[in-house]
Structure 1
């Protein structure tokens, strides 16, 4: 089947999402880049992607809102053949300090929005009997992290969502896979920990370093490809052998 060339990437303005967007643009994908508050970063990224000769649109939506997925989808110029669900925010602190408002925000962004974005995208994917959905979880969704119980809960839900949806839509020629990165050098990570804390974490990683957003983007690009058609329902964790 001919490879389709239109992708929507949520959380695309910075970090892993931005790296994925650039990688897809270099491989000829027209794009819709979702962002919420980082308008300048999104505009700069869009120009970088357009320099690769592809069409790029921007979509602003608050995925913490109950209707965030619908707001995003209403701005798409067409139904995506590839959907990368990368939007996310961190949540650090003890479980006793989690408020109901914080719970709702984190769960909406990490669980509700991917669920309903995927449901909307599947209408087109099922009709054409082709589609790629790539979710982004975290190593903490696999093994859990103290002081990040809320974040781990949300990212664990992403993993279960990925596995269940893959089984449901595989008969329609659609794959659903999850990338669960370890320690990746992004603003989210460097803003959450100081240099000493990061060095202490890196000492526990056999690879002896953080991963890069570009390494995650390379994996996402492969999972979107025709060659990855038999890889389905998998949780792939690039983490430098930190957790195996």
Structure 2
């Protein structure tokens, strides 16, 4: 089963800014109804709604709290319809600053746990809230956001990368269980994006080095990555599930 993107209601977690906002814009551009989830970025989320018009609406919830997620889904259902597509983009506060990163001699488990609580716990809470709707209609799309650092930890951001690695595993196990319901579950993994709030601390020289190492000669933008998320929600990907597509200009193969 597949449906045109314009017929879908899409929930994008962590959509107030950065990559999440680019994903929200991409879906709205294709005519979807877009629920913009935010935790603290209220002003940015409301500004994005003003930009998208009637196709967008903002909903506050901390995705690590299942009760808040359930309330948010009810609010989205009242405003649009229950989401058919989940894009789990929410990220615990993080800055990609290689000089300031936690190293193994000082890293604490709580730092990994905090990242995993949002990455994996947030995905679990959102899927559980949407599963009855997916099952009732025999259709659903879940897209998680990963990182190419799992394949190529060129900078060892231990906490962030460990959480995203766990999310990749969860993406694949969820694909196995939800497949019989007509639900696909896939991951889109980017590299360093040029540019988001999370990558704002990255020096220009680092971007230039990365660009020089990619076959395409450029650093991926949030808009380019958002277009790949659209693919997994579209009818073109109706037979694809449990996959991790790396979108980084060819920096990492496989």
With normalisation by structure 2, the TM-score equals 0.86
Judge conservation of contact 1:141–1:159 (CA < 8 Å) in 2.
Answer: no
- Which of 243, 246, 250 aligns to 1:241? It is 250
User: How far apart are the structure 1 equivalents of 2:236 and 2:196?
Assistant: 32
User: How far apart are the structure 1 equivalents of 2:104 and 2:83?
Assistant: 37
- Which of 75, 100, 115 aligns to 1:106? It is 115
SS in 2 for 1:175: strand
Aligned match of 1:178: 187
Cα deviation for residue 211 of structure 1 reads: 0.7
SS in 2 for 1:141: coil
User: How far apart are the structure 1 equivalents of 2:47 and 2:197?
Assistant: 19
User: How far apart are the structure 2 equivalents of 1:189 and 1:200?
Assistant: 18
Cα deviation for residue 188 of structure 1 reads: 3.6
Cα deviation for residue 171 of structure 1 reads: 1.5
Judge conservation of contact 2:207–2:219 (CA < 8 Å) in 1.
Answer: no
User: How far apart are the structure 2 equivalents of 1:160 and 1:145?
Assistant: 21
- Which of 24, 32, 53 aligns to 2:35? It is 32
CA offsets per residue over residues 67-110 of structure 1, 9 Å max, x none? 2x431331232221000001114363212322344333211111
Judge conservation of contact 2:151–2:252 (CA < 8 Å) in 1.
Answer: no
Tell me which stretches of 4 or more aligned residues in structure 1 moved more than 6 Å.
none
SS in 2 for 1:211: coil
Judge conservation of contact 1:145–1:152 (CA < 8 Å) in 2.
Answer: no
SS in 2 for 1:192: coil
- Equivalenced residues, count: 238
* Bigger mean CA offset, 100-109 vs 204-213: 100-109
User: How far apart are the structure 2 equivalents of 1:238 and 1:117?
Assistant: 24
Aligned match of 1:70: 67
Matched, 1:9 2:12: yes
CA offsets per residue over residues 170-208 of structure 1, 9 Å max, x none? 111110010001221122453231122332333322322
Structure 2: which 5+ runs fail to align?
Answer: 96-100
Judge conservation of contact 1:59–1:72 (CA < 8 Å) in 2.
Answer: no
User: Residue 161 and residue 240 in structure 1: after superposition, are their counterparts in 2 closer, same or farther (change >3 A)?
Assistant: same
Cα deviation for residue 146 of structure 1 reads: 4.2
User: How far apart are the structure 1 equivalents of 2:240 and 2:24?
Assistant: 21
Aligned match of 1:80: 83
Judge conservation of contact 1:95–1:150 (CA < 8 Å) in 2.
Answer: no
CA offsets per residue over residues 200-228 of structure 1, 9 Å max, x none? 33332232211111111111112111221
Judge conservation of contact 2:141–2:233 (CA < 8 Å) in 1.
Answer: yes
Structure 1: which 5+ runs fail to align?
Answer: none
User: How far apart are the structure 1 equivalents of 2:69 and 2:89?
Assistant: 14
* Bigger mean CA offset, 150-159 vs 181-190: 181-190
With normalisation by structure 1, the TM-score equals 0.90
SS in 2 for 1:118: helix
Matched, 1:216 2:225: yes
